[in-house]
Amino acid sequence: MAGTASGLGWMAWTWQTAVFCIFIGVLLAGMVVWEWRSPGGAPRRGILHIVTTRGDRLFVSLLSAAYIHLGWLAIFGTPLWGATLVSAAIAVLVFRYV
């Protein structure tokens, strides 16, 4: 009941949840380093015809990944490796063209 003492007993903390949280933290730390090494990020107008920064493109990529995974679960169920690969490909496309 260690999770209950800290108030997090309601959440299903599995190794997959921990990997997900660590991955998001690593992404954010990577964006900080990228911004530190190359300030500004040169906002640009992509195929959506809106000006986006690196942070905007990361947000769109993460949001897309969430919807891709939910759709994958609804259509195919588990495992989610296919959704993860599709999400990674979409993220590359978002950073390249959006």
Instruction: Residue 64: count other Cβ atoms within 10 Å of its Cβ.
Output: 17
Other beta carbons within 10 angstroms of residue 53's beta carbon come to 14
Q: Report pLDDT digits (tens) over 57-90.
A: 999 999 999 999 999 999 999 899 999 999 999 9
For residue range 29-52, list pLDDT tens digits in order.
999 998 899 887 778 898 888 999
Q: From the CA atom positions of the chain, what is the Rg in Å?
A: 17
Query: What is this structure's pTM?
Result: 0.77
